[in-house]
Amino acid sequence: MSKLASSIARGLVGFTNKSLIKNLMVITLCILFILLQVFYPYQFYESTQKNASATFQVGIHYVYEQDNLDQIYDQVTQIHNLGFKAIRITLNCNPDIYNDTQNQKLDVLFSATDNYGLKVALVIPNLEETAKVDYYLNRWGSHFAYIQVMNEPELSSTWSVGSIFTDDEIITNFNNMYQTVESHHLSAQLYTNFGIGYILRSNVPIELSKKLDFVGLDVFMDSFLVLSPHFIQNMQQITNKPVVITEFGMSTSDSQAQSDFIIKGLNLFKSMGLPGCWLVYWNSTFDNYGIRGRPAEQLVGDWIAKNAN
C-alpha cells in the first residue's frame, strides 16, 4: 500500500515538475485566486449574520417635493411605521415668498419628523447659491441631524456641459459651502457622498474627509454591490472615517429584482458592521427607484423589524 502511495506521489511530482504543466497549474490557480478575491467578501458578508446585534440605521430619501402638501405628514408617518430611522431630503425652498407652498411643505415635513423623532439628512446640491443655503439653514437648520456638503463631487458636472469639476473647483466649492454651513453653528454631522468612481480620484475623498464627520458611498447596480466590500474597505482605509451607504437602490420596473437587490444589500452592509444605509427613493415620479406602493416597501419594513435596532 505504502509502495503504491509512494509511486503515485512520485508520479505526481514527476508530472507536475514538467515546466509546461507547472505553468498551466500556476496560471489556473492564479485565476481561481482572483475569483476568490473578487467574490469571497460579498458572499461571506451577504450570507452570514455577522454583527447581528450591532446598531444599524436604515434611512430613505423622500422626494417630498413631488407630493401634495396634504400628503406629506401621512407619508412621513408611513415611513416611520415601517421602521426607518432617518429621512434624507434635497435642499429646496423659495427664499422670496415666506409662505410659498414649497416652504409650507417643509414646515409640515419637519413637524412630522420632529413628532416621530426621525433624523433628517439634508442634501445641498453642488452649485447651490450660498444665500439660499443661508436662508434655508436659518429657518430650518435646527431640524437636521446630518448635512451633506456636495453630492458625488468626483463625478459632478460644472456649468459647462460634458465637463467635470477639476480638483481645484471641487475643493473651492466644498470649502465655500462648508464655511457657509459651519457659520450656522448647527449640531448636525457633516458628510459628503461619493460614487464608485471615487477610486480614480481618491485624492478627493482623502482631501474632503479631513473636515467631515463621516463619508457616504453610493451603491447602484448588481456588479457594484458585489464589489462594494472592496470599495467600502478602501474608503475606510484612505479616509479613516466611518462609511455610511448614503444612496442605495435600483431603478427597475421589475419589482422582484428591486426587492432582492435591496434586501441583499441591507444584509451585506449590516453584516459588514456599517452604521447605516439610506435607500433611494421613497417615491420617484420620473424613474423606477421609488419603493412606495411596491413589494420592496413591505419587505424592507419586515427586514428592519427583524434586523435593525
Partner 1 sequence: MRLVEKLLIQGLILAIVLSVIQMYLDGARNAYMVYMPPLGFAFLVFVTYIVQPIMIGILNIFIINTLFKTKGWQVEFWLNGIFLLLAFSSINLVLQTQFNLSFTSTALIDIIVLALPFGCIARFSNGGWKKPID
Contact (CB, 8 A) for 289 and 249: yes
Residue corresponding to grid cell 456641459: 161
The stretch near partner 1 (CB under 8 A) out of 21-29, 252-260, 261-269, 281-289 is: 21-29
Tell me: does residue 19 bind partner 1 (CB under 8 A). yes
> Between 22 and 101, whose beta carbon lies closer to partner 1?
22
Continuous H helices in 48-68? none
Tell me: does residue 202 bind partner 1 (CB under 8 A). yes
Contact (CB, 8 A) for 154 and 171: no
Tell me: does residue 174 bind partner 1 (CB under 8 A). no
Tell me: does residue 17 bind partner 1 (CB under 8 A). yes
User: Among 2, 26, 70, 117, which residue sits at the site for partner 1 (rule: CB under 8 A)?
Assistant: 26
Restricted to residues 41-70, the positions that interact with partner 1 (CB under 8 A) are 41, 44-45, 50
Q: Report the nearest approach of partner 1 to the CB of residue 22 (Å).
A: 5
Tell me: does residue 238 bind partner 1 (CB under 8 A). yes
Distance between CA atoms of residues 180 and 29, nearest Å: 55
Amino acid at 187: S
Continuous H helices in 48-129? 69-82, 101-116
Neighbours of 17 (CB within 10 A): 9
Distance between CA atoms of residues 53 and 51, nearest Å: 6
User: Among 8, 9, 97, 200, which residue sits at the site for partner 1 (rule: CB under 8 A)?
Assistant: 200
Give me 102's grid cell. Answer: 414649497
Amino acid at 4: L
The stretch near partner 1 (CB under 8 A) out of 18-26, 64-72, 219-227, 274-282 is: 18-26
User: By the criterion CB under 8 A, which residues form the site for partner 1?
Assistant: 16-17, 19, 22-23, 26-27, 29-30, 33-34, 36-37, 40-41, 44-45, 50, 167, 199-204, 206-207, 229, 237-238
